[in-house]
Amino acid sequence: MKAMITSAVCSSLLLLSGCSNSDNNDTTQSSVEAPQKTALTSGIEQANMDKSVRPQDNFYRYINGGWMNSHEIPGDKTAIGSFYDLRDKADDDVKAIIEELAATENLKTGTDEQKVADIFRSYMDSETRNAAGVAPIQSILTAIENIKSKDDLANFFGTYSTAGINNPLALYISIDAKDSENYAIHIWQNGLNLPDRDYYFNEAERFVNLRNGYVTHIENMYNLAGMENGKDAAKNIMALETSLANYHWTRVQSRDSEKRYNKFATADLNTLTDKFNWQAFLAAENVASQKDIIINQPDFIEGFGKVFDETSLDIWKQYLTFNTLSAFSAYLTADLDNENFDFFSRQLSGRQEQKPQWKRGVSVVNSNLGEVIGKVYVTRHFTPAAKSRMSELVENLRNAYGASIDDLAWMSEDTKKAAQVKLAAFTPKIGYPDKWEDYSDLVIKSDDLVGNIIRSRQVSSQKEISKLGGPIRKWEWHMTPQTVNAYYNPPANEIVFPAAILQPPFFNMKADDAVNYGGIGAVIGHEMGHGFDDQGSKYDATGNLRNWWTEQDLKEFANRTQALVKQYAAYQVFDDLNVNGELTLGENIGDLSGVTIAYKAYKASLNGKEAPVIDGLTGDQRFFMGYAQIWRSKIVEKSMRNRVATDPHSPGEFRALGSLSNMNEFYDAFDVNEGDAMYIAPEERVKIW
């Protein structure tokens, strides 16, 4: 078990996923303090523009088209762009820290420095990994062989989930959405290795080919591991996963916070299915003493019980064997690693070649010792001045949001008051944690990569279990400082901005305020907006899942959100594929709210004065250009198709176009009129917050 940050818990700027997961000074009327210098730059990357495109027709391509035309996606990537550039920079920065430690001799055993150096060394030692074959996971494979009954199987699910072995029940610890002062056990539907349930049923040629490729991949993994009956195992595993997929909720269904909240007494789990030994499973997960548990998708549990009962023990053992190979393929031989890459990255996502080994090694360190690296990272790459300026921006956005709530014509006074209470209760976290993770219980050895990974996962699981019965760890972060992302966590009512995203084009200390409000200001507003999107708005100021709306206001809100669903569903990604307006609704509300509130905050920061014209651009123009350039990206087709099917975020182009097409101020800044491609009739423009 590990911390699980799903859409149930955490809405992020990018979500690569899930995953989960201040002083309220009146500063709206004060300008954001800029560094002392002779002149501020516009912050607009004009070399990236394509001025052959009219801004009124496609503002995204007007701002980013030159870059799109001149940049190709390298073979080791599926996407490039503003977020990915910053991630590359963060990887380089982390690499420098790791290599300094890895080059140091005689580090004291047990220190954080020794752990970072040795987990990196163990990953980079390809010769040892290739020589070991599958021996490092032999104890797990033997445990699978020794399963003699369905009760043993339930025990295995619980015991080895802490080592990262996939099974149909993803158990995790998170804040109780209706009792936000306490943690609770949750179970999320699981067990599939393809990205989504529809991959098992869609009869389009692409999906048929992927299913055939997956079956071949399973057989190849068996063969490379020196195991018999790979062809038979592949057929059985595919059939088993298809049976499970039949009971999975869709991603749209799983977005609904209220429908997901189903608390059961652990003694009553047999009412969902009595075909599974719940006590053995929970005991193996070390949570048998807990009195209740939250089931996110109870229909799935009922279906799982049928599949569990009807599937033979031998097929379950084949399934677990393959999942074990998959869970550790990146840490075993090059052949297994490359086979896993070939299917999940090349065939499924369109990545043509592996990332350099050092980048994969950096990822291993970040995943297992992220906050150790984070402590050093922030001392080198995040200044107190940046944190101070960011804090002021957050408060400016908060005040602008409050003013916008007061101005809403469609919302009653009672609901406005509740919204203001929630807004005032937002907890911003900027840059890095006030308290760092403790890794003292984690043993890392330079010659035991798989052991390092298993011990890391088990220590993480133990930390999660230790939360039960204790106070909420308000100091805890669900992203490291070197992560280029941001998130809102509804049960904690917190907005979180890691240090690595606070760089150009999002946050530019050398730029005029307009581009910073259009960039990081819109990011701040986006995360605040998640507190008031179609799901976040169901949580109150204390983080509890509780309705604080009048009935009429809920109807008005639903009308506006459904108009946004319709708008985004009309955006065409490919000739045969449109944006899923329902799946992306929460993020689209966040985007629209974010840029709307950021604009209000920017205008307030001018104190009634006219913004300077810089590089021939007005302040309003720079604001909207700053917003559009943060979404700059190119993505290979296979990866884009996967994202449209599974990602709650719209593609970058439509994140820019959709939000701006609904803002009257954008029409004024760029003279958008009826007949222009971005034009939406005034009565059809969506205004929510």
Distance CA 608, CA 624 (A): 19
List the end-to-end C-alpha distance of the chain, in Å, as a whole number. 38
Given this model, what pLDDT does residue 105 score? Answer: 86
For 351-372, the pLDDT digits (tens) are 999 999 999 999 999 999 999 9
Q: Strand 572-574 relative to strand 633-635: parallel, antiparallel, unpaired?
A: unpaired
| Residue 110 to residues 179, 343, 550, 586, Cα–Cα distance (Å) | 38, 38, 56, 44
Q: Which residues contact 215 (CB under 8 A, 6 or more apart)?
A: 234, 235, 238
User: Rounded to 5 degrees, what are φ and ψ at 91?
Assistant: -60, -45
Given this model, what pLDDT does residue 511 score? Answer: 87
Q: Strand 427-431 relative to strand 494-498: parallel, antiparallel, unpaired?
A: parallel
Q: Which residues contact 103 (CB under 8 A, 6 or more apart)?
A: none
Instruction: Using alpha carbons, select from 634, 631, 688 the residue that is nearest to residue 655.
Output: 631
Distance CA 634, CA 568 (A): 19
Distance CA 270, CA 302 (A): 10
Name the 3-class secondary structure at 242: helix
Tokens standing for 43?
């912050």
Q: Are 591 and 659 in contact (CB under 8 A)?
A: yes
Instruction: Using alpha carbons, select from 620, 600, 629, 610 the residue that is nearest to residue 666.
Output: 620
Instruction: Using alpha carbons, select from 364, 370, 451, 454 the residue that is nearest to residue 165.
Output: 454
Given this model, what pLDDT does residue 33 score? Answer: 35
Instruction: Using alpha carbons, select from 564, 569, 577, 570 the residue that is nearest to residue 639.
Output: 577
Given this model, what pLDDT does residue 40 score? Answer: 73
Percent of the chain whose predicted confidence (pLDDT) is above 90 = 92
Given this model, what pLDDT does residue 21 score? Answer: 34
For 99-120, the pLDDT digits (tens) are 998 888 889 999 999 999 999 9
Could you give the domains of the chain? 45-71+383-431+477-684 (3.40.390.10), 135-331 (1.10.1380.10)
Distance CA 638, CA 646 (A): 12
Distance CA 257, CA 532 (A): 13
Distance CA 75, CA 354 (A): 8
At 13, the amino acid letter reads L
DSSP-assigned letter for residue 521: I
DSSP-assigned letter for residue 34: P
DSSP-assigned letter for residue 38: S
Strand partners, 176: 179
Whole-number CA gyration radius for the chain: 25
Give the length of the chain.
689
Given this model, what pLDDT does residue 215 score? Answer: 98
Given this model, what pLDDT does residue 104 score? Answer: 87
Given this model, what pLDDT does residue 19 score? Answer: 35
Q: Are 654 and 568 in contact (CB under 8 A)?
A: yes
Name the 3-class secondary structure at 638: helix
Q: What angle do CA 33, 34, 37 make, to 5 degrees?
A: 145
Given this model, what pLDDT does residue 591 score? Answer: 97
341-376 per-residue burial string, b: 16 or more CB within 10 A, e: under 16? bbbbbbbbbbbeebbeebbebbebbbebbbbbbbbb
Given this model, what pLDDT does residue 294 score? Answer: 98
Distance CA 303, CA 248 (A): 9
214-246 per-residue burial string, b: 16 or more CB within 10 A, e: under 16? bbbbbbbbbebbebeebeebbebbbebbbbbbe
Given this model, what pLDDT does residue 510 score? Answer: 87
For 494-537, the pLDDT digits (tens) are 999 999 999 999 999 888 899 999 999 999 999 999 999 999 99
Q: Are 349 and 452 in contact (CB under 8 A)?
A: no
Instruction: Using alpha carbons, select from 260, 244, 252, 301 the residue that is nearest to residue 278.
Output: 301
Given this model, what pLDDT does residue 13 score? Answer: 62
> Which positions of the chain have pLDDT values less than 50?
2-9, 15-38
Q: What angle do CA 221, 647, 462 make, to 5 degrees?
A: 65
Q: Are 238 and 280 in contact (CB under 8 A)?
A: no
Instruction: Using alpha carbons, select from 554, 631, 560, 553 the residue that is nearest to residue 591.
Output: 631
Given this model, what pLDDT does residue 1 score? Answer: 58
Name the 3-class secondary structure at 79: strand
Given this model, what pLDDT does residue 183 score? Answer: 98
Tokens standing for 456?
């890391």
Given this model, what pLDDT does residue 23 score? Answer: 31
Tokens standing for 261?
């909240």
